[in-house]
Structure 1
Amino acid sequence: MQVRQLSLKGRALRLLGGREHSRAELERKLAPHEQEPGQLQRVLDELQAKGFICEERVMESVLNRRAAKLGAGRIRQELMEKGLGAELVGQAMQQLRGTELERAREVWRRKFGEIPQDAAERARQARFLASRGFGGEVIRRILAGGADEE
């Protein structure tokens, strides 16, 4: 039985069928399969012109999938790793800013649910929230307890 090699375009479409990918992600993933110089750029240009690659959709996809669990810091990092431009990353951060405290409080509530009783527990909860990408001021307000409820 003969195994047929997927074309670069076929590989790109298969990746895009799974989830949204940025152009930079596709370049990284498909570069090892490029058989002639410039081939990958031509394929990606064609897919972008036809609307298969859209940086705004990548941003929205990340926000929809990750915002309920992660803070703006971690999401910013993910978007930058995906190769999105500074303007789009800034736009995403603007969208997240208004809900950061509420989202962090929900993540904290699901994991812990009660105010820490000692310094060690407080530090553990703070580390958890920081590892999720929430900022210091947000963490402080959550661990301060009910007095800060909005």
Structure 2
Amino acid sequence: MAGKFSKHIFNQNEDAQIDMTPMLDVVFIMLIFFIVSTSFIKETGIDVNRPVASSTQVIDQNIILVAIDENSLVWIDKQQVPIGNLKSKVERAVLETKGASVVIQGDTQARLGLFIQVMDQIKLAGVENISIASVKPK
């Protein structure tokens, strides 16, 4: 009897198998963790062809984007704003976003005179921290 029992336990014809289910569960849980914990930063505003600058820095605080496109139109949050209404729009945006700074995204084809007017209206709205958006050279 002992011989029969030992043959059954040590059967050479059976293949050893590894159960992959726990490993797949762990991988799936890690995937969910990384998807949930990743922060997606989306810039509000319109797409402009920003100038290149070597001294570009990343701003991680609350910002209000004011864009000037290639047709010299001024935009805040994808809404076109006449230059005369820019001061009041910026004041309202600053009240809604406490401690925010303003970043001007100027297209490389935008007029410099309009850029100065936009900066002046932002300063008249009481904003002291104004930055200019650019891209790092490749």
TM-score normalised by length of structure 1: 0.23
**Higher helix proportion:** 1
With CA pairs under 8 Å and 6+ residues apart, which has the higher RCO, 1 or 2?
A: 2
